[in-house]
């Protein structure tokens, strides 16, 4: 079982252990495949589709597709990057993302991804959906305007915190993040120290009273594009 799998990404040869996904193997090799819903330590969810690559010519999400012997993977191509811009722009127009006053700005992975791709405005029309805010919890709040339905909080609450605070309800355009209490987040057993309270890639699930703590210029993505930490592995 310990035999290594050999495959290529954009012509670069790399190795994976059996069962490892394309994305994990790429990370280890210092090749960045953009992603939003995938987070280290969590089961892949496969919802955002940003990590779509071509495997032997067929589109697959790199976060869920195991690496296979002699696979030819295309990642950093004009076409795939255009699909990725589309995904980012779709997420921006689908919600209400007011970056200028969002606590997460500068540390937001969606925003950072847009920066990385040099997006100055989405090509799609804004939808301005009517969504609500849940501030019933003393320490944590949900702003559904910013939710990108990635599923991180759902998975983390179950798998890491051993709770069931979050789950999706509704279907299609009506799909939204819900909580395990009719009384709102404040009625659940979520604690501010729970991992689920800090995995949100955007400003949808945020801790109260800690916003804007880091000055502009020193925030996570102010100077370095998202993914740099992985790409720097390659240099080492």
Partner 1 sequence: MSDNLEKIVSEICTRYGNDASRMMDVVRDAHARFGFVSSACADAIAAALKTPRVEVESLVSFYAFFAAHPRAKVVIRLCNDIVDVMHDGHKVWETFEQELGIKTGETTKDGAFSLEYTPCIGMCDQAPAALINDVVVTRLTADRAREIVRELKSGSDPAGLVKEFGDGNNAHELVRAMVVNNIRERGAVVFDAEDMQPGTGLKNALAMSPAEVIRAVKTARLRGRGGAGFPAGMKWEFTRESAGSFRTVICNADEGEPGTFKDRVILTERPDLLFEGMTIAGYAIGAEQGILYLRGEYAYLQPFLENVLNERRASGLLGQNSAGKAGFNFDIRIQMGAGAYVCGEETALISSCEGLRGDPKTRPPFPAQRGYRGQPTAVNNVETLCCVTRILEKGPGWFSQIGNGKSAGTKLLSISGDCKKPGVYEIPFGITLQQLLVKAGGADAIAVQVGGPSGSMVGPKDFGRQICFEDLATGGSIMIFGPGRNLLQVVQKFMEFFVEESCGYCTPCRVGNRLIKERLDRIIAGKGEKTDLAYLEQLVEMVKAASRCGLGQTSPNPVLSTLKNFRQCYEALLLKETGGMQPAFDLKEAVKDAENIAARASVHC
Partner 2 sequence: MAKPKLATASLAGCFGCHMSILDIDERILQLVELVDFDKSPVDDIKEFTGRCRIGLIEGGCCNEENVHVLKKFRENCDILVSVGECATMGGIPALRNTIPLKECLDEAFLNGPTVHNPSGRIPDDPEIPLLLNKVYPCHEVVKIDYFLPGCPPPADAIWAAVAALLEDKPIALPYELIKYD
Which residues are at the interface with partner 1 (CB under 8 A)? 44-50, 52, 59, 61, 64-66, 82-83, 86-87, 90-91, 93-94, 123-125, 127, 148-149, 164, 166-175, 178-182
86 binds, among partner 1, partner 2, none (CB under 5 to 8 A by kind): partner 1
68 binds, among partner 1, partner 2, none (CB under 5 to 8 A by kind): none
* Angstrom distance (rounded) from CA 230 to CA 29: 8
The smaller minimum CB distance to partner 1, of residues 87 and 226, is found at 87
The smaller minimum CB distance to partner 2, of residues 163 and 219, is found at 219
CB of 58 to partner 2, least distance (A): 32
Helix 78-94 vs helix 109-116: crossing angle, to nearest 10: 140
Ramachandran sector of residue 141 (left: φ over 0; alpha: ψ -120 to 50; beta: rest): beta
204 binds partner 2 (CB under 8 A): no
CB of 214 to partner 2, least distance (A): 12
How far apart, in Å, are the Cα atoms of 89 and each of 16, 114, 127, 197? Answer: 32, 8, 12, 26
125 binds partner 2 (CB under 8 A): yes
How far apart, in Å, are the Cα atoms of 235 and each of 54, 74, 116, 127, 228? Answer: 25, 21, 19, 42, 11
Helix, strand, coil percentages in the chain from 3-state DSSP, rounded to 5: 25, 15, 55
The footprint of partner 2 (CB under 8 A) covers 96-102, 105-106, 111, 114-116, 118-121, 125-126, 128-131, 216, 223, 225
């Amino acid at each position: 079982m310990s035999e290594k799998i050999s495959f290529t990404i954009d012509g670069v040869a790399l190795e994976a252990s059996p069962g490892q996904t394309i994305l994990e193997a790429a990370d280890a090799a210092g090749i960045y495949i953009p992603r939003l819903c995938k987070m280290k330590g969590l089961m892949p969810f496969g919802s955002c589709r940003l990590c779509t690559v071509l495997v032997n010519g067929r589109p697959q999400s790199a976060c869920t597709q195991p690496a296979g012997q002699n696979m030819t993977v295309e990642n950093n191509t004009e076409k795939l990057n255009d699909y990725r811009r589309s995904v980012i722009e779709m997420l921006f127009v689908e919600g209400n993302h007011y970056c200028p006053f969002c606590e997460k700005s500068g540390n937001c992975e969606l925003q950072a991804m847009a920066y990385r791709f040099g997006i100055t405005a989405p090509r799609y029309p804004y939808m301005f959906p009517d969504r609500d805010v849940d501030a019933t919890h003393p320490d944590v709040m949900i702003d559904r305007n910013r939710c990108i339905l990635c599923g991180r909080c759902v998975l983390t609450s179950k798998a890491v915190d051993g709770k069931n605070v979050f789950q999706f309800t509704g279907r299609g355009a009506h799909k939204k993040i819900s909580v395990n209490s009719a009384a709102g987040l404040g009625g659940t057993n979520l604690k501010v120290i729970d991992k689920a309270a800090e995995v949100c890639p955007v400003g949808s699930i945020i801790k109260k009273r800690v916003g804007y703590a880091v000055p502009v210029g020193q925030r996570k993505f102010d100077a370095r594009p998202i993914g740099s930490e992985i790409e720097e592995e390659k240099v080492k």
